[in-house]
Structure 1
């Protein structure tokens, strides 16, 4: 009898957690599907390790809808890394050309870190100040985060 009760309790626990997990997955999917097909999104990226993730996110958004406007504003060390790392430079160029992402470079960073502008991809326009540019995007209704 004791064994039967333990099995029943274990079965109830497993079935209860499966239902909760399924509900959470459904909620997560609903949140992820709430991205508007004509939305405006921007990411401020300062860390070189986060640029590829930002690009992958932008690609995912653009695969959902070509109407999505997705911009990545690069400031700080990531700009230096783009200028020095050929593989990263190719990734940036592909993201702009193939997926239609807009990736801009902070001109203040270029000046402060003495980065040679000719080492940056021509596909990445240089804005005067990346932080001011981000504020401008927010004023224009872009949903934005910094990573």
Structure 2
């Protein structure tokens, strides 16, 4: 009787342990990433990081978004400078997202922005919403 109890407990703990691992693997079937930055110059290392993660994650690589906020939005209208970033981001499946509040605060004309940039009304709120969806995030 005692042996039956010990074997039952061992079996129960084994099943419990493996069900937790399966849930963790399902939870992270795809890795989604978010970077919040206040500096355009950070785009080059961010893109390189995204490319390295895509290689490392393989088919598990999901979405990669960069939210740009703050005074640096003034630099977004420099279309020749931004073209190298937008082209590289597009090639690497990186979405560049611009904070609408920052555009308004620093009086940047949305029509002067290069193509390929998405504008959200509130970049910080948008970042929190992605974090709630499980995105791994960092602020630079």
Taking structure 2 as the reference length, the TM-score comes to: 0.70
Other-structure match for 2:137: 144
Q: Residue 41 of structure 1 aligns to a residue in which SS?
A: strand
Check the 8 A contact 2:101/2:123 in 1, yes or no. Answer: yes
Q: Shift in Å at residue 132 of structure 1?
A: 0.4
Q: Shift in Å at residue 62 of structure 1?
A: 2.8
Q: Residue 145 of structure 1 aligns to a residue in which SS?
A: strand
1:105 maps onto 2:92 in alignment = no
Structural RMSD (CA): 1.9
The count of corresponding residues between Structure 1 and Structure 2 is 111
Question: Partners of 1:59 and 1:71 in 2: how far apart?
Answer: 12
Q: 1:37 to 1:126 in 2, by over 3 A?
A: same
Structure 1 residues not aligned, in runs of 5+: 1-35
Select the structure that is richer in strand: 2
Q: 1:135 to 1:95 in 2, by over 3 A?
A: same
Query: Using CA pairs below 8 Å that are at least 6 residues apart, which structure has the higher relative contact order?
Result: 2
Other-structure match for 1:81: 75
Q: Residue 97 of structure 2 aligns to a residue in which SS?
A: strand
Structure 2 residues not aligned, in runs of 5+: 1-27
Question: Partners of 2:32 and 2:92 in 1: how far apart?
Answer: 15
Taking structure 1 as the reference length, the TM-score comes to: 0.67
Other-structure match for 2:50: 58
Q: 1:85 to 1:77 in 2, by over 3 A?
A: farther
